Chains A and B, each alone.
Chain A
Amino acid sequence: MPETILATYGLSKKFGDRWAVKDINLEVHAGDVFGFLGPNGAGKSTTIRMILTLLSPTAGSVKIFGREVKENRRFVLSKVCGIVEKPDFYLFLSAYKNLEVLGSLTRKVTKDEIFETLEMVGLRSRAYDKVKTFSHGMKQRLGIAQAILTKPELIILDEPTSGLDPQGMKEVRALVLGLSKEHGTTVFLSSHLLAELEVVANRMAVLNHGELIAQGAVSELLGGDSSYYSLQVSPQDDALELLKKTEWVELVSVANGIDVRIEPQRAAELNRLLVTNGIDVSSFAAKRTLEDFFLKITEGASEV
């Protein structure tokens, strides 16, 4: 049985009459790279804010390292660090000074540790530059630097690749994987990008409209989810006519192509059907977007 590092129990937050998140029960194990997935506005940041004591829950509780966060704030937060939403710094201070100020709130940090961390995120050469001269991507990397500086056991990163270019995203993913594999750090990673979490996370929870709709190993949650396909065909009208007549094909949308839903094992059969009816198929791609994934699991939830 893996050790539970972070657990929430019926965690809920109400703003006015609206429940931002309701009855969230998360379980993050030691060494996990735990993906926290949900579209914008699903309640991910609100949940993270409650975990990190920035918001007080309307109901429920949070335990980290087996202790109630509310009663053991100092102990818990000395082993946890993170970024909540975008990383904001003292713009009038240098990157070095920002890390020194923020790091020393947890424990004494040495000059070497600061430089080592800046090196890890590729900002060593900009150590003494004021943060106001940094681009969004650099601030994002500095945000990760402040999160890992004190070598916490649990790192909580809220949309850490937001606003980064593809290269920056790749570097952050590599950094996260490195923290987990080389240092054994547990990483709680929120994102609205399924593809991002697929690459790095081993376990995942999915939040939608403030409610937890799925939680488990990524392989279990996403396994076999290739029933949505996007087709580029010509002539499209003929293809549409044909697909409408085919009982085992469900038309999902028609825009720049045709999106359909079929059982995965019938994909080849559909391709054959189109070709044998004189329709050119220039693209036949399985779709596994977050939207599709949500469609599947929310449908599942409503059937129960």
Chain B
Amino acid sequence: MKFFSLEVQKTFRRWRTYIGFAAVAGAVILLEIIIKMNEASMAKGFAGNLNSDFLVSGNILNVWTITTFIMNSLYVHVPFLIALVAGDMVSSEGASGTIRFLLIRPPSRSRIIFSKYLTMLFYTAALIFFLAALCIGIGLAFFGSGDVIRFQSGIPHIVILPERIAASRTLLAFVAAILSMSVVGSLAFLFSTLVDNSIGPIIGSMAVVIIFLIVENLPFESLEAVRPYLFTTYMNIWQLFLDEPINWGEVGKYSLALIGHDALFFGISYLVFLRKDIKS
């Protein structure tokens, strides 16, 4: 615990750590202002799709709808902000030479790598909760609350989440997003144990995410067999919590896949770090 606390202190004393928070704040505030400025046309457009068949009334462009919209919009951007810190966790110690001071101390390499990994997860959770707090805080102030109307995945149909459960579902979605983003963090963390510079792990992990997303979205049947093995296939787990009812079977499957990737990436990082010769 002491070592974890030291790692957190080190991480949160670096300005690089706050780039993610600043970027999230900037993006959320900007998006919410733009939506607020165009609220009438957006609400009309959103309701317009439904008005031909349904009678829509009430505040449909509310905090929960906007939050879901923002989460969808930042789907590729947040992983980059996670990689920015995760990709630096071990490699920065090598690049700066502090790894030598660290590894000639009594704590074992296992403890060091565990603490660093926990710190990475802590940062990921902190960033996602910050995103949640901003989305909900500003969203409530700008748009107020209301029921959520959305198109459900799978067999397409419209779902109405009453206001009273929309909040809890949105929070669950954010928790799921932490799990989803932790995989990107774990991948960047793995790359970070392999090299002594920060740029490689950040670019490397983002390249993997982008390539996987492309493969996932290409409409070729031949790629069907590959998709279950891509962690990006399961990264939209958070959307499952906005379905009604929640398909817990799918949630379990997605969670296992993401946790499995986390374990795999961390396991490799662990073995690499334990056997690593410090030549720098």
Do A104 and B6 contact each other (CB < 8 Å), given the known contacts A73-B106, A77-B105? yes
CA distance A16 to B13 in the complex (A): 39
Our pick among B13, B105, B275 for the contact of A102 (Cβ within 8 Å) is B105
Do A88 and B97 contact each other (CB < 8 Å), given the known contacts A55-B279, A73-B108? yes
Our pick among B9, B96, B101, B102 for the contact of A91 (Cβ within 8 Å) is B96
Complex interface residues of chain B between 72 and 103 (CB less than 8 A to chain A)? 96-98, 100-103
A-chain residues with CB within 8 Å of residue B100 when the two chains form the complex: 54, 84-85, 88
Q: Per DSSP, are chain A's interface residues mostly helix, strand or loop, or mixed? A: loop
Is A28 among interface residues, defined by CB-CB distance under 8 A?
no
A146 adjacent to B106 (CB under 8 Å): no
Q: Which of the four size classes fits the interface of chain A? A: 20 to 34
Q: Per DSSP, are chain B's interface residues mostly helix, strand or loop, or mixed? A: helix
Our pick among A54, A56, A93, A105 for the contact of B106 (Cβ within 8 Å) is A105
B278 adjacent to A49 (CB under 8 Å): yes
Is A82 among interface residues, defined by CB-CB distance under 8 A?
yes
B96 adjacent to A77 (CB under 8 Å): no
CA distance A88 to B10 in the complex (A): 15
B-chain residues with CB within 8 Å of residue A80 when the two chains form the complex: 104
CA distance A84 to B108 in the complex (A): 18
B97 adjacent to A86 (CB under 8 Å): yes
Our pick among A53, A74, A106 for the contact of B103 (Cβ within 8 Å) is A53
Interface residues of B, count at CB 8 A? 24
**Least distance between B244 CB and chain A CB atoms (Å):** 48
CA distance A50 to B15 in the complex (A): 34
Is A78 among interface residues, defined by CB-CB distance under 8 A?
yes
Most chain A CB neighbours (cut-off 10 Å) among B2, B14, B275, B279: B279
Is B107 among interface residues, defined by CB-CB distance under 8 A?
yes
B98 adjacent to A90 (CB under 8 Å): yes
Nearest B residue (CB) for A46: B279
**Least distance between A204 CB and chain B CB atoms (Å):** 23
CA distance A79 to B96 in the complex (A): 25
Is B277 among interface residues, defined by CB-CB distance under 8 A?
yes
CA distance A105 to B5 in the complex (A): 11
Is B3 among interface residues, defined by CB-CB distance under 8 A?
yes
**Least distance between B99 CB and chain A CB atoms (Å):** 8
CA distance A54 to B10 in the complex (A): 22
Is A284 among interface residues, defined by CB-CB distance under 8 A?
no
**Least distance between B9 CB and chain A CB atoms (Å):** 7
CA distance A101 to B97 in the complex (A): 15
CA distance A82 to B97 in the complex (A): 14
Complex interface residues of chain B between 1 and 58 (CB less than 8 A to chain A)? 2-3, 6, 9-10, 13-15
A-chain residues with CB within 8 Å of residue B107 when the two chains form the complex: 74, 105
CA distance A214 to B260 in the complex (A): 55
Nearest A residue (CB) for B97: A88
Complex interface residues of chain A between 33 and 64 (CB less than 8 A to chain B)? 49, 52-56
Do A74 and B98 contact each other (CB < 8 Å), given the known contacts A54-B278, A93-B13, A101-B6? no
A82 adjacent to B96 (CB under 8 Å): no
B106 adjacent to A74 (CB under 8 Å): yes
Is A89 among interface residues, defined by CB-CB distance under 8 A?
yes
Most chain A CB neighbours (cut-off 10 Å) among B102, B103, B104, B279: B104
Is A81 among interface residues, defined by CB-CB distance under 8 A?
yes
A-chain residues with CB within 8 Å of residue B103 when the two chains form the complex: 52-54
Most chain A CB neighbours (cut-off 10 Å) among B2, B101, B108: B101
Do A89 and B98 contact each other (CB < 8 Å), given the known contacts A54-B277, A104-B2, A105-B3? yes
Is A128 among interface residues, defined by CB-CB distance under 8 A?
no
Complex interface residues of chain B between 240 and 276 (CB less than 8 A to chain A)? 275
Our pick among A49, A92, A105 for the contact of B14 (Cβ within 8 Å) is A92
B108 adjacent to A55 (CB under 8 Å): no
B-chain residues with CB within 8 Å of residue A101 when the two chains form the complex: 6, 9-10
A-chain residues with CB within 8 Å of residue B279 when the two chains form the complex: 49, 55
Nearest B residue (CB) for A93: B13
Our pick among A81, A93, A105 for the contact of B102 (Cβ within 8 Å) is A105
A-chain residues with CB within 8 Å of residue B15 when the two chains form the complex: 92
Most chain A CB neighbours (cut-off 10 Å) among B10, B96, B105: B105
A52 adjacent to B97 (CB under 8 Å): no
CA distance A146 to B101 in the complex (A): 9
B-chain residues with CB within 8 Å of residue A89 when the two chains form the complex: 96, 98, 101
A-chain residues with CB within 8 Å of residue B6 when the two chains form the complex: 101, 104-105
Complex interface residues of chain B between 102 and 118 (CB less than 8 A to chain A)? 102-108
CA distance A74 to B106 in the complex (A): 4
CA distance A87 to B10 in the complex (A): 18
**Least distance between A101 CB and chain B CB atoms (Å):** 6
Q: Across chains A and B, which 6 residue pairs bring their CB atoms closest together, nearest first?
A: A88-B97, A105-B105, A54-B278, A52-B104, A78-B106, A77-B106
Q: Contact residues of A with B, CB < 8 Å?
A: 49, 52-56, 73-74, 77-78, 80-82, 84-93, 97, 101-102, 104-106, 146
Give 23 A-B contacts (CB < 8 Å), ordered by A residue. Answer: A49-B278, A52-B103, A53-B103, A54-B104, A55-B277, A56-B275, A56-B277, A77-B105, A80-B104, A85-B97, A86-B97, A88-B96, A88-B97, A89-B98, A90-B96, A92-B14, A93-B10, A101-B9, A102-B102, A105-B3, A105-B6, A105-B105, A146-B101
Q: Knowing that A56-B275, A88-B98 are A-B contacts, what are 19 other residue pairs whose CB atoms are under 8 Å apart, sorted by A's residue number?
A: A49-B278, A52-B103, A53-B103, A54-B100, A54-B103, A55-B279, A56-B277, A77-B105, A85-B100, A90-B10, A92-B13, A93-B10, A101-B6, A101-B9, A102-B101, A104-B6, A105-B3, A106-B106, A146-B101
